[in-house]
Amino acid sequence: MTTDVIVAGIGQTNVGEHWETSLRELAFYALEAALNDAAGLRPQALYVGNVFAPQISGQAHLGALIADFAGLRGIEACTLEAAGASGAAALRAGFLAVKSGFVDAALVVGVEKITDKVGPEVDVNIATTLDSDYEAVHGLTPTAQAALLMRRYLHEFNVPDFALANFPLTAHANGAGNPHAMFQKALKPALYERAGMICDPLNMFDAAPDADGAAAVLLTRPEFLPPDSQHPRVRIAASSVATDTLALHDRPDPLDFRAARLSVERACYQAGASIDQMDFFELCDTFSIYAALSLESAGYAERGRGWELAHNAAITLEGSLPIATLGGLKARGNPWGATGIYQVVESTLQLRGQAGSNQIPHAKRALVQALGGPAATAITHILETI
């Protein structure tokens, strides 16, 4: 017997620099919105996605902290961490809890407060998501790692100059229609081309900005939906996790996001659907090169040809495979532990028909993927209307 897991409620804060808002308050604003959106359905469990609270905010034990602050004392609550895929890992925990029948309703919150510290100390903390003994100890950062991947990609496949530009250009064009995005203004190609380098060949528009934010979803089974719930029903049809080596140099081919490929294949198998049946793809565009490699790993492009999808406008809202439909990480911002939940909130808005000027007509099925690092962890969910 199939047990549907329904997205009963969604909530999100604006992404940006929340200097005057505490970590617990930020999480509360998102979960309160999700509870209200679910017509007051009360959860029995809380799963929190977060990466840096212990190091940057000086706060661990977020499950108990947020449950207490939200007036949910006594419920099951814990925190999950998987670098940039932390929010997606928390979502999978909530999905499994509801799917199994052990929990009737699970609240999943992703939250991050990067701005509690500034400067090099933040970079040091972000580098903890790499292999400490063999990468971070030598001064490698995620940005430098992505630059190495991009340099190799451009060289190995003889990719033209500025070939990846349309990934951030598309994201910013879509971000202009997202009131919660950090950047709500489209970019012109000339501005991208003259942007300063942050780590050659990555320029400032090739990297998503680290930011504060919180997003939440409330999951349940159909029989527990409040009778006055008016939203079109969206279910999680599949949830899949795969991992690869943490250190990039341990992989036979660093340009093969193997875990991303496996997680998509497994999710499609669970959902009984193919990638061609997806109406849009919320991929992980932490860096422009990640977008190209994610498209290739998912099976939408041959190896070394992912950039061509951006070149021929296939990834725009009007294209055959829209991506980053509300700005992606690049324009919405990258609140690390919350990113995977923002992706699901945005996908739910699309599937409900509530994405405003960014609405994809007749969207019925979404492929959503969050990555921890360069696909050291890859978590893929498929959402669909029922």
The CATH code of the domain at 137-207+237-385 is 3.40.47.10
Q: Is the pLDDT of residue 228 over 90?
A: no
Q: How far apart are CA 249 and CA 327, in angstroms?
A: 31
Task: Over range 282-303, report the average pLDDT.
Answer: 98
* Beta pairing partners, 370: 379
Q: Is the pLDDT of residue 1 over 50?
A: no
Q: How far apart are CA 326 and CA 331, in angstroms?
A: 8
Domain spans, the chain = 6-118+210-224, 137-207+237-385
The CATH code of the domain at 6-118+210-224 is 3.40.47.10
> Among 1-15, 131-145, 274-288, which is the least confidently predicted range?
1-15
What percentage of the chain reaches a pLDDT higher than 90?
A: 96
Position 229 confidence tier, pLDDT thresholds 50, 70, 90: confident
Position 313 confidence tier, pLDDT thresholds 50, 70, 90: confident
How much is the mean pLDDT over the chain?
97
Task: Over range 293-312, report the average pLDDT.
Answer: 96
Position 115 confidence tier, pLDDT thresholds 50, 70, 90: very high
Which residue, among 216, 228, 300, has the nearest Cα to 35 in the 3D structure? 216
CA dihedral sign of residues 140, 144, 149, 154: negative
pLDDT in tens, 145-179: 999 999 999 999 999 989 999 999 999 999 999 99
Q: How far apart are CA 192 and CA 313, in angstroms?
A: 17
pLDDT in tens, 52-67: 999 999 999 999 999 9
Q: Do domains 6-118+210-224 and 137-207+237-385 have the same CATH topology?
A: yes
